[in-house]
């Protein structure tokens, strides 16, 4: 396998200023792509080669011409990866004609078929599947694209930018020409030719320009697009208000497609969305779907500046656009929903996805130093940890300076392809903070651990905190250097008040919450005028993506849970309280001791429930126990069944102790009136459905009756899904009928069928492995559709009990399906293969079975590069 290294980056040998594409969609099986490129040698490239080398992938080059003259066969050659043209001039026009095969394109990169027509995805390296090109983001050109297709079958023809011409052609065909006024990298190119319906709106920018917004969906789905269109306008307004950034196009198009490898794609002026992340209607979408769609629409729109106007020099810089855009998306969500809940959810996401990745064989820095397949690096490290790194800079320089830094970044780099260093440099300069050491966050992988110890001295009324940071070794990085990071904290007095924070040597207190800057491996901070031994509230708002190790006792955690003014740390205290007891439970179970939980746990959770009225959404988060993967992360050797059983035991314990309160809350937090996905009502539903899930763990008839009633009567998908998931985990006679009825009711709504597949695959009940195997043969399932794969196999992969079934049957199923998928869609397959990568963390029995599965994959002839990279690193 060949590895690409950041250190080997060289500027492109040629630059392209203009691209003219003529895409003739002859039929589902074939398209002819004629390209005209204005090329010149790059003056910045060292030692310019005589030959031109263009990237290609699974396309057939038919002819090559330079400046209007055909290039003879001897002067050009195409192998599997490159088209080479010998002895080219310094500046010239290159014409190529290429054939592509959309129907055979099951990788869904480049131009492919889906639903009622042709769609495209080019990020990261898909443009080379359309036409020969210098397919790298630092080659930015102006594009004109002309599409030709059958008019009746494909009435809608779209590409980036503005439509500058269209007309009819002989044989019932038509054409349209699109011109994008902005130079862009090839990964932002997009085309659509399909039978779609659309709705229109417009957005007036604050400078008074009008942008026409248009959303395109498959016929019959127009009633599912209104919400996304509202989100788009909201996001446009938000970016003007928060960052002073306006939409720069006259036309902004959004298209929904059912077959899509990613969630969505920010193509310039032509965003293409997976239907799952853009179509919504209360009866088929949950509150979670609505908020995810809102955030994704905003995310893709925000890319127009952070990604498109300023793009990445190379794919090692992916987090330049993704980390920054996820951060902006998080700010948007915090402004739009509950700030505390948005933060809690982002951190839970980080802990369930990124922390395990950072502790496994695929661990990589936010800016990776090497890769084999860039598609394997659209990771939670690049996205989520990347966003945390941007957030830390925001914390270190403060919101106003951060905004100045972003302004400076655009001022300097608009229209350029740059590196993460340029972003840091702009914030550094605007913020007046030295970020030299901070840059290590982009270079070092692994989750740092902060060990915090304290000492209170009554005589001098001083409180000393010592903070030691340590970052574990990761592949290729045995030793780490200390990193610069913010540590936000407060100190709580015994009566619950927050103490003024005065550091020794400082003239006045800093207020009751402050941000300390950590630089050295160990830092000691001494607070004075501290009247009594405080409880520290550490890492407020989750100020850095680290693990904080402080020996909290039960009383300290209860104190924080009751009094901390930082809502994130109030939530965190509850999580720690539960986690300590869960880990104790796992140890007790392993030692053959009974697993029991103390009454104070029930009391603490009971108080959260009793106080839920003020903020039900927060209460729902606070009552949710740490996820199984997060518990597992804390263990030396994982026995997933033990983790599940102990967590389940805690849920049952709480359900029993809090039964009456849960039952009352279930009635009390009903949301009468028409459905609305707003923060308030979705918070009430989240809490109520959490109460239902707790009650269902008691396995009593009353809860089951409530649950079935809710499933029957639900006026929205949130309540229906909550009930269905609970039933799916309940070994009762009504179960199968409920699941079958749900499928029968929704069989014609693919997105709801996906939910049903997901619920079946996530059931912890025995028989799930066989059921999932059966569903792989169900007419509703196909390996060709990524959403179906994610719904069934992706959900199964996170099923800690059944995927990890001790007999290895879950592994066997995943192995077979991954191999079958690998020849269809290797990008999606390698994500399934990643389910095995952390095998070393498991107890010996499962470890051996997982390893055998990886070895089996590794020795499969013809395995894709995508999957090879994952198994190679896992087995290394
Ligand atoms: N579609 C992906 C995203 O928006 C890749 N750019 O994050
Ligand atoms: Zn993105």
The atom of ligand 1 lying closest to the CA of 303 is: 4
Q: Where are the domains of the chain?
A: 16-38+49-195, 449-556, 765-876
Q: Which of 486, 480, 478 is nearest to 448 (CA)?
A: 480
Residues 6+ apart with CB under 8 A from 537: 489, 490, 491, 492, 560, 564, 566, 569
Going by alpha carbons, the residue nearest to atom 7 of ligand 1 is 322
Task: Give residue 653's pLDDT band: very low, low, confident or very high (50, 70, 90).
Answer: very high
* Residue 322 CA to ligand 2 centre (angstroms): 5
User: What ipTM is given for this predicted complex?
Assistant: 0.97
The atom of ligand 1 lying closest to the CA of 266 is: 4
276 CB burial (10 A radius; 0-12, 13-18, 19+): buried
Would you state the pLDDT for residue 247? 98
Going by alpha carbons, the residue nearest to atom 1 of ligand 1 is 265
Would you state the pLDDT for residue 354? 98
Average confidence (pLDDT) over 782-795 = 98
User: Tens digit of pLDDT for each residue in 689-736?
Assistant: 999 999 999 988 999 999 999 999 999 999 999 999 999 999 999 999
Average confidence (pLDDT) over 423-438 = 98
For domain 16-38+49-195, give the CATH number: 2.60.40.1730
- Is residue 310 within 8 A of residue 410, CB to CB? The reply is yes
416's tokens: 């350029």
Relative to the alpha carbon of 265, which ligand is closest? 1
User: Tens digit of pLDDT for each residue in 664-676?
Assistant: 999 999 998 999 9
Judged by DSSP in three states, 97 sits in: strand
Are 16-38+49-195 and 449-556 in the same CATH fold? yes
Would you state the pLDDT for residue 47? 86
* Residue 264 CA to ligand 1 centre (angstroms): 6
Report how far residue 478's alpha carbon sits from residue 184's, in angstroms, rounded to the nearest whole number.
39
Catalytic: which of 123, 218, 266, 300? 300
Report how far residue 163's alpha carbon sits from residue 156's, in angstroms, rounded to the nearest whole number.
12
523 is catalytic: no
Would you state the pLDDT for residue 46? 85
The atom of ligand 1 lying closest to the CA of 326 is: 7
Would you state the pLDDT for residue 526? 98
Q: Name the fold adopted by 449-556.
A: Immunoglobulin-like (2.60.40)
Any alpha helices (H) in 353-461, and if so which ranges?
Answer: 355-358, 380, 386-397, 399-413, 420-431, 440-443
Peptide bond into 124 cis (omega under 30): yes
User: Tens digit of pLDDT for each residue in 146-200?
Assistant: 999 999 999 999 999 999 999 999 999 999 999 999 999 999 999 999 999 999 9
Would you state the pLDDT for residue 90? 96
Paired residues of 65 in beta bridges: 70, 95
- Angle among Cα 250, 336, 560 to the nearest 5 degrees reads 150
The atom of ligand 1 lying closest to the CA of 299 is: 4
Q: Among 264, 274, 305, which is best to mutate for testing ligand 1, by the most ligand atoms less than 8 A from CB? A: 264
Q: Which of 162, 236, 250, 231 is nearest to 206 (CA)?
A: 236
Going by alpha carbons, the residue nearest to atom 2 of ligand 1 is 265
User: Tens digit of pLDDT for each residue in 219-229?
Assistant: 999 999 999 99
Q: Among 108, 322, 374, which is best to mutate for testing ligand 1, by the most ligand atoms less than 8 A from CB? A: 322
* Residue 410 CA to ligand 1 centre (angstroms): 20
φ, ψ for residue 719, nearest 5 deg: -70, -35
> 612-616: long-range contacts at Cβ-Cβ below 8 A with a sequence spacing of 24 or more?
612/665, 612/669, 612/687, 615/338, 615/340, 615/683, 616/669, 616/683, 616/684, 616/686, 616/687
- Please give the share of the chain, as a percent, with pLDDT higher than 70: 100
- Overall size of the chain counted in residues: 876
* Residue 347 CA to ligand 2 centre (angstroms): 18
The atom of ligand 1 lying closest to the CA of 325 is: 7
Residues with CB under 6 A from ligand 1: 123, 262-266, 299-300, 322
Going by alpha carbons, the residue nearest to atom 5 of ligand 1 is 265
Relative to the alpha carbon of 273, which ligand is closest? 1
User: Tens digit of pLDDT for each residue in 303-355?
Assistant: 999 999 999 999 999 999 999 999 999 999 999 999 999 999 999 999 999 99
Scan for tokens 């949130």, then name that residue: 718
* Residue 268 CA to ligand 2 centre (angstroms): 13
Report how far residue 235's alpha carbon sits from residue 300's, in angstroms, rounded to the nearest whole number.
10
| Cα distance between the two ends of the chain | 13
Predicted TM-score (pTM) of this structure? 0.99
Q: Among 255, 257, 263, 315, which is best to mutate for testing ligand 1, by the most ligand atoms less than 8 A from CB? A: 263
User: Tens digit of pLDDT for each residue in 467-503?
Assistant: 999 999 999 999 999 999 999 999 999 999 999 999 9
Report how far residue 39's alpha carbon sits from residue 49's, in angstroms, rounded to the nearest whole number.
14
* Residue 850 CA to ligand 1 centre (angstroms): 31
Relative to the alpha carbon of 320, which ligand is closest? 2
Report how far residue 498's alpha carbon sits from residue 491's, in angstroms, rounded to the nearest whole number.
6
Average confidence (pLDDT) over 263-276 = 98
pLDDT at 1 over 80: no
* Residue 266 CA to ligand 1 centre (angstroms): 6
The atom of ligand 1 lying closest to the CA of 296 is: 4
User: Tens digit of pLDDT for each residue in 46-98?
Assistant: 888 999 999 999 999 999 999 999 999 999 999 999 999 999 999 999 999 99
- Please give the share of the chain, as a percent, with pLDDT higher than 90: 99
570 CB burial (10 A radius; 0-12, 13-18, 19+): buried
Would you state the pLDDT for residue 663? 98
User: Tens digit of pLDDT for each residue in 570-591?
Assistant: 999 999 999 999 999 999 999 9
- Sheet with 14-25, side-by-side order of all strands: 69-70, 60-66, 91-100, 31-41, 14-25, 140-150, 173-185, 162-169
Relative to the alpha carbon of 324, which ligand is closest? 2
Average confidence (pLDDT) over 3-7 = 98
- Is residue 269 within 8 A of residue 248, CB to CB? The reply is no
Mean pLDDT, the chain, as a whole number? Answer: 98
Would you state the pLDDT for residue 38? 98
- Is residue 231 within 8 A of residue 271, CB to CB? The reply is no
pLDDT at 631 over 80: yes
């Amino acid at each position: 396998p060949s590895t690409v290294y950041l250190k080997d980056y060289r500027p492109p040998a040629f630059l392209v200023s203009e691209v003219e594409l003529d895409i003739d969609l002859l039929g589902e099986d074939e398209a002819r792509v004629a390209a005209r490129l204005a090329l010149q040698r790059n003056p910045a490239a060292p030692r310019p080669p005589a030959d031109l080398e263009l990237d290609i992938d699974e396309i057939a080059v038919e002819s090559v011409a330079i400046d209007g003259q055909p290039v003879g066969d001897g002067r050009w050659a195409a192998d599997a990866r490159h088209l080479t043209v010998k002895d080219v001039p310094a500046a010239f026009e290159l014409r190529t004609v290429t054939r592509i095969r959309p129907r055979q394109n099951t990788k869904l990169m480049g131009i492919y078929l889906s639903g009622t027509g042709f769609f495209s995805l080019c990020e990261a390296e898909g443009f080379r599947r359309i036409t020969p090109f210098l397919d790298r983001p630092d080659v930015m050109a102006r594009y004109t694209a002309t599409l030709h297709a059958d008019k009746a079958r494909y009435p809608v023809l779209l590409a980036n930018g503005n439509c500058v011409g269209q007309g009819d052609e002989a044989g019932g065909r038509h054409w349209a020409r699109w011109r994008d006024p902005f130079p862009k990298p090839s990964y932002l190119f997009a085309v659509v030719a399909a039978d779609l319906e659309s709705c229109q709106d417009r957005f007036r920018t604050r400078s008074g320009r009008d942008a026409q917004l248009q959303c395109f969906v498959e016929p019959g789905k127009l009633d599912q697009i209104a919400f996304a269109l509202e989100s788009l306008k909201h996001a446009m307004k938000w970016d003007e208000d928060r960052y002073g950034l306006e939409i720069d196009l006259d036309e902004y198009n959004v298209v929904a497609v059912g077959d899509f490898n990613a969630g969505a794609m920010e193509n310039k002026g032509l965003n293409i969305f997976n239907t799952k992340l853009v179509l919504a209607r209360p009866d088929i979408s949950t509150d979670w779907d609505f908020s995810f769609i809102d955030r994704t629409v905003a995310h893709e729109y925000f890319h127009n500046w952070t990604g498109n106007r300023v793009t990445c020099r190379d794919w090692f810089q992916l987090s330049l656009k993704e980390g920054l855009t996820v951060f902006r998306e998080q700010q948007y969500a915090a402004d739009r929903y509950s700030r505390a809940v948005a933060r809690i959810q982002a951190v839970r996401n980080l802990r369930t996805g990124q922390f395990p990745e950072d502790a496994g064989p695929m661990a990589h820095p936010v800016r990776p130093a090497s890769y084999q397949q860039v598609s394997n690096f659209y990771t939670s490290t690049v996205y989520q940890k990347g966003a945390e790194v941007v957030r830390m800079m925001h914390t270190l320089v403060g919101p106003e300076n951060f905004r100045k830094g972003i302004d400076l970044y655009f001022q300097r780099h608009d229209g350029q392809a740059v590196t993460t260093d340029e972003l840091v440099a702009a914030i550094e300069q605007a913020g007046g903070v030295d970020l030299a050491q901070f840059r290590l966050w982009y270079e070092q992988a692994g989750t740092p651990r902060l060990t915090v110890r304290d000492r209170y001295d009554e005589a001098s009324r001083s409180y000393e905190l010592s903070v030691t940071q340590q970052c574990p070794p990761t592949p290729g990085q045995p030793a780490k250097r200390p990193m610069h990071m913010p540590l936000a904290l407060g100190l709580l007095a015994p009566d619950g008040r927050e103490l003024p924070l005065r550091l020794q040597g400082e003239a006045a207190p800093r207020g009751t919450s402050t941000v300390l800057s950590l630089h050295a491996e160990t830092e000691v901070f001494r607070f004075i005028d501290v009247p009594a031994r405080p409880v520290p509230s550490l890492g407020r708002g989750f100020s850095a993506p680290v693990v904080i190790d402080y020996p909290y006792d039960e009383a300290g955690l209860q104190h924080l849970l009751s009094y901390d003014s930082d809502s994130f740390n109030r939530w965190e205290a509850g999580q720690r309280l539960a986690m300590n007891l869960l880990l104790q439970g796992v140890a007790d179970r392993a030692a053959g001791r009974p697993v029991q939980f103390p009454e104070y746990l029930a009391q603490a959770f009971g108080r959260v429930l009793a106080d839920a009225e003020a903020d039900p959404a927060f209460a729902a988060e606070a009552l949710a126990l740490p996820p199984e993967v997060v518990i597992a992360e804390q263990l030396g050797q994982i026995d997933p069944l033990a983790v599940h059983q102990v967590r389940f035991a805690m849920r049952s314990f709480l359900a029993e102790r809090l039964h009456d309160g849960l039952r009352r809350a279930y009635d009390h937090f009903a949301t009468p009136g028409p459905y609305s996905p707003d923060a308030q009502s979705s918070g009430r539903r989240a809490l109520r459905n959490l109460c239902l899930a707790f009650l269902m763990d008691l396995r009593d008839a009353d809860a089951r009756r409530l649950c079935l009633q809710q499933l029957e009567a639900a006026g929205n998908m949130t309540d229906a899904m909550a009930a269905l998931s609970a039933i799916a985990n309940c070994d009762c006679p009504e179960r199968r009928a409920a699941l079958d009825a749900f499928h029968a009711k929704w069989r014609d709504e693919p997105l709801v069928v996906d939910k049903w597949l997901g619920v079946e695959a996530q059931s912890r009940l025995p028989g799930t492995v066989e059921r999932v195997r059966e569903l792989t043969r169900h007419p509703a399932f196909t390996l060709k559709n990524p959403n179906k794969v994610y719904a069934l196999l992706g959900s199964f992969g996170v099923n800690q009990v059944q995927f990890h079934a001790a007999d290895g049957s879950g592994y066997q199923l995943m192995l077979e399906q991954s191999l079958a998928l690998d020849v269809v869609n290797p990008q999606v397959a390698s994500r399934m293969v990643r389910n095995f990568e952390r095998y070393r963390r498991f107890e010996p029995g499962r470890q051996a079975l997982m390893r055998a599965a990886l070895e089996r994959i590794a020795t499969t002839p013809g395995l894709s590069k995508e999957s090879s990279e994952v198994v190679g690193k896992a087995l290394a």
